[in-house]
Amino acid sequence: MSKIQKLDLKTKSITDDEKAKLKSVLPYVFSEGSKIDFDKLKTVLGEDVDTGEERFGMQWPGKAECFKVIQEPSIATLKPCKNESVDWDTTENLFIEGDNLEVLKQLQKSYYGKVKMIYIDPPYNTGNDFIYPDNYSESLDTYLAYTGQIDSQGKKFSTNTESEGRFHSKWMNMMYPRLFLARNLLRDDGVIFVSIDDNEVDNLKKIMNDIFGESNYVDVLKWKRKKQPSFLATHTAKVMEYIMVYAKVKGSLEKLSIEGTSDSTKKVINVSNKESKRHFSKNVRIKIDGKGVIKKGRYTIKTMDVEYLQDVHYDNNRTLNEVTVISKFTVSQENIYEFIDNDLLFITAQKGLRRDVSQEEIGKRKSITDLLLSEWGDNQESENELKAIFGTGDYFDYLKSIKLIGNLVKSCFSENQIILDFFAGSATTAHSVLNLNAEDAQKRKFILVQLPEILTEDSKAFKDGYKTISDIGKERIRRVIKKIKEEKKEKAKNKDGDLFKDKQENNDTLDLGFKVFKLDKSNFKIWDENVDEKVVEKQIELAIDHIDPKSTELDLLYEILLKSGFELTTSLKELKVEGKKVYSVSDGALLICLENKLTKELIREIAKLEPARVVCKDSGFEGNDQLKTNAVQIMKSFKVESFRTI
């Protein structure tokens, strides 16, 4: 009898994937059984293979264990929560509640090489931060115990204090596997931004070099998080944090840039420049700070730190005479002439010399600098942003501003792409993406991952009815969506002219929703394909009732989708075939039938739809070996590429 293969319910094998990459480049260094022959590798690469005991590199207690953690497949799943979601059937945004190590493993098949940008704000290891456990051998059980889903005697998550014997190592053991798995999800032109402070900035860079490669280092950005330094500082008053930036493949990454200006005017004089002389011809505009009318007469140009001026004679708000000015100009004489010829230059009483932004400059992008100041927001602004949503800014001590993350998102040409944040916290990343899409009518998609970290009973958030940090994040997204919808309705009432009508039509396509999933144990007893043939029958007996009776049909569907390599937002349609329910995934690329009683007629009609893949419940055959054999042959006759059971 032709056997029906079982659907592989394990997460993507990182080891097999890395070996496949090596085999595609150096197939001749593999021996029988797909083992790597290091002698051959050394022969091929010669002196480029480092076999010495002393070499430059980053080592710490537990690094070897990190690779075991990375290679260990996850036996978990992501269960859908429609009742906590918004616009479930149409949205492409995701909020996943769970341990991000397990979740990143779950995403490997479906999102490998698909994410344009990753932003994370991980624990800074200040001594009081919440840190994931450094023994990951039972990470799913640890997570389930922490969230109260299994016996509370399981291992607990905790803080990482400086009295710990492995203070830095514990933090690095937490970060390394997560960053390794995150890199796999990036596109070749993707980029990752990691916020950090002085406590671990050096170690983070070494970890990033180890995973991404020094050649893919882009920069360390400095963000001014405070307007004013603290007067209680011990030695120096700190106002800066860092954002580490790495590319997946630096040669594929476009220049990080944002719009050239949001102002309608630009300075032509700056106090930090050297003094120089500029000549002004007639017909330069005169303004009183952009308003009002200036009477006919004389005018003195006010500049910064000037040595020499000439009075200006003017009439009808235009200069009548030529003027020479010595000041600290940011532009050349040629540009001054060009601005005058194009009627861009003007003189004001308060701001001195300025110019209008030309049509060519509107929307033009400029490189971001490594110093992020006021236009990138600060902690005070982020508290006010949270207060505008919840009525209080006291839920979190340290927040990133919408401006900061929004500018980072804009800087990497992320339009219509996936943005991932697996230390989501208060969900500022989702807030930023939703706001940006509302502004420019683009279709960026977010994936947020947050541990349901339990709030203390004396916290303001707990008293307001929130049990975990992820609860706050989900509610923030709901409130932001509601706010954007209300603003759209208000604008619709005041619509005026075709320009607004076009914007309104674009806004009607906005994705103002998100799907919620929660990490949990698999809905199935995992089938071991490597089991010895002598005990196959025993395994089959044990697997007869291999589906968790508490699992819903939707739970099963989304685990099959995820383990089959489809995104969690893939279109899913219900069909009726021979009176039975069949689910069509991605317009028929995969057909899933979870009926308990399969027939030859049903199998044939499913095959006639010509899907690439088909998945059925093994129990649906009710032990009928002849029906199984016929099913395999029917699928082959209609050229179905893969027919598997669960």
Enter the DSSP assignment of 83. G
Decide if 328 contacts 305 (C-beta within 8 A). Answer: yes
Select, from the ranges 182-196, 395-409, 537-551, the one with the highest average predicted confidence (pLDDT): 182-196
CA nearest to 561, candidates 598, 580, 586: 586
Q: What is the structure's pLDDT at 134?
A: 44
Distances (CA, A) of 286 to 267, 313, 332, 350, 446: 15, 10, 21, 12, 48
- In whole angstroms, what is the distance from residue 119 CA to residue 400 CA? 11
Decide if 130 contacts 205 (C-beta within 8 A). Answer: no
Q: What average pLDDT does the structure give for the chain?
A: 83
Q: pLDDT above 90 covers what percent of the chain? A: 46
Distances (CA, A) of 596 to 500, 581, 593: 54, 11, 9
CA nearest to 419, candidates 204, 90, 114: 114
| pLDDT of residue 129 exceeding 80 | no
DSSP strands (E only) in 464-532: 515-521
Q: What is the structure's pLDDT at 141?
A: 75
Cα three-residue angle 324-326-331, rounded to 5 degrees: 95
Question: At 531, phi and psi to the nearest 5?
Answer: -65, 150
Four-point Cα dihedral 581, 585, 586, 587, nearest 10: -20
Decide if 277 contacts 327 (C-beta within 8 A). Answer: no
pLDDT tens profile 472-489 = 999 999 999 999 999 988
Q: Helix H segments across 494-618?
A: 498-507, 536-542, 553-563, 600-608
Q: Specify the pTM.
A: 0.80
- In whole angstroms, what is the distance from residue 199 CA to residue 239 CA? 14
Q: Which pair of structure tokens corresponds to residue 66?
A: 């990190």
More confident call, 267 vs 103: 103
Treating both helix axes as pointing N-terminal to C-terminal, what angle do 428-440 and 469-493 enclose, rounded to 10 degrees?
Answer: 20
Q: Please state which of the ranges 187-201, 251-265, 392-406, 497-511 shows the lowest mean pLDDT.
A: 497-511
Decide if 311 contacts 300 (C-beta within 8 A). Answer: yes
CA nearest to 193, candidates 115, 107, 113: 115
Q: What is the structure's pLDDT at 389?
A: 92
More confident call, 61 vs 57: 61
Q: What is the structure's pLDDT at 291?
A: 55
| Average of per-residue pLDDT across 57-66 | 79
Confidence of residue 350 (pLDDT cuts 50, 70, 90): low
Decide if 601 contacts 578 (C-beta within 8 A). Answer: yes
pLDDT tens profile 386-406 = 999 998 878 888 889 999 999
- In whole angstroms, what is the distance from residue 408 CA to residue 413 CA? 10
Question: At 371, phi and psi to the nearest 5?
Answer: -120, 110
Nearby residues of 268 by Cβ (< 8 Å), 6 or more positions away: 329, 330, 331, 336, 339, 345, 353, 354, 355
| pLDDT of residue 304 exceeding 60 | no
| pLDDT of residue 504 exceeding 60 | no
More confident call, 272 vs 250: 250
Partners of residue 619 on adjacent β-strands: none
Q: What is the structure's pLDDT at 497?
A: 43
- In whole angstroms, what is the distance from residue 201 CA to residue 124 CA? 9
Q: Please state which of the ranges 42-51, 217-226, 434-443, 508-517 shows the lowest mean pLDDT.
A: 42-51
Distances (CA, A) of 391 to 58, 434, 469, 490: 46, 20, 17, 22
Q: Which pair of structure tokens corresponds to residue 427?
A: 């969900």
Q: What is the structure's pLDDT at 81?
A: 97
Nearby residues of 579 by Cβ (< 8 Å), 6 or more positions away: none
| Average of per-residue pLDDT across 56-65 | 77
Q: What is the structure's pLDDT at 347?
A: 79
DSSP strands (E only) in 98-185: 115-120, 130-131, 158-159
| pLDDT of residue 367 exceeding 70 | yes
| Average of per-residue pLDDT across 494-510 | 55
- In whole angstroms, what is the distance from residue 368 CA to residue 373 CA? 11
Q: pLDDT above 70 covers what percent of the chain? A: 81
| Average of per-residue pLDDT across 606-631 | 92
| pLDDT of residue 565 exceeding 90 | yes
CA nearest to 102, candidates 130, 79, 129: 79
More confident call, 508 vs 266: 266
Region of 195 on the Ramachandran plot (φ > 0 left; ψ -120 to 50 alpha; else beta): beta
More confident call, 627 vs 159: 627
Decide if 139 contacts 65 (C-beta within 8 A). Answer: no
Q: What is the structure's pLDDT at 427?
A: 96
Domains belonging to the chain, first-starting first, are 5-71 (no CATH), 76-259+367-516 (3.40.50.150), 269-353 (no CATH), 524-645 (no CATH)
More confident call, 507 vs 40: 40
- In whole angstroms, what is the distance from residue 561 CA to residue 566 CA? 5
| pLDDT of residue 170 exceeding 90 | no
| Average of per-residue pLDDT across 221-234 | 79
Look at the chain and count its residues.
646
- In whole angstroms, what is the distance from residue 179 CA to residue 209 CA? 11
| pLDDT of residue 216 exceeding 60 | yes
| pLDDT of residue 607 exceeding 60 | yes
| Average of per-residue pLDDT across 310-316 | 72
Residue type, 389: I
CA nearest to 424, candidates 455, 400, 442: 400
| pLDDT of residue 154 exceeding 50 | no
Q: What is the structure's pLDDT at 203?
A: 92
| Average of per-residue pLDDT across 66-85 | 92
CA nearest to 561, candidates 551, 572, 552: 572
Confidence of residue 14 (pLDDT cuts 50, 70, 90): confident
Residue 41 has a CB neighbour count (10 Å cut-off) of: 16
Confidence of residue 327 (pLDDT cuts 50, 70, 90): confident
| pLDDT of residue 136 exceeding 50 | no
CA nearest to 508, candidates 433, 570, 443, 573: 443
Treating both helix axes as pointing N-terminal to C-terminal, what angle do 63-71 and 14-25 enclose, rounded to 10 degrees?
Answer: 90
Q: Which pair of structure tokens corresponds to residue 185?
A: 């999800």
Decide if 450 contacts 424 (C-beta within 8 A). Answer: yes
Enter the DSSP assignment of 30. B
Confidence of residue 253 (pLDDT cuts 50, 70, 90): very high
Q: Please state which of the ranges 188-197, 470-479, 520-529, 620-629 shows the lowest mean pLDDT.
A: 520-529
Q: What is the structure's pLDDT at 500?
A: 39
- In whole angstroms, what is the distance from residue 375 CA to residue 262 CA? 10
- In whole angstroms, what is the distance from residue 363 CA to residue 500 CA? 18
| pLDDT of residue 503 exceeding 90 | no
More confident call, 238 vs 307: 238
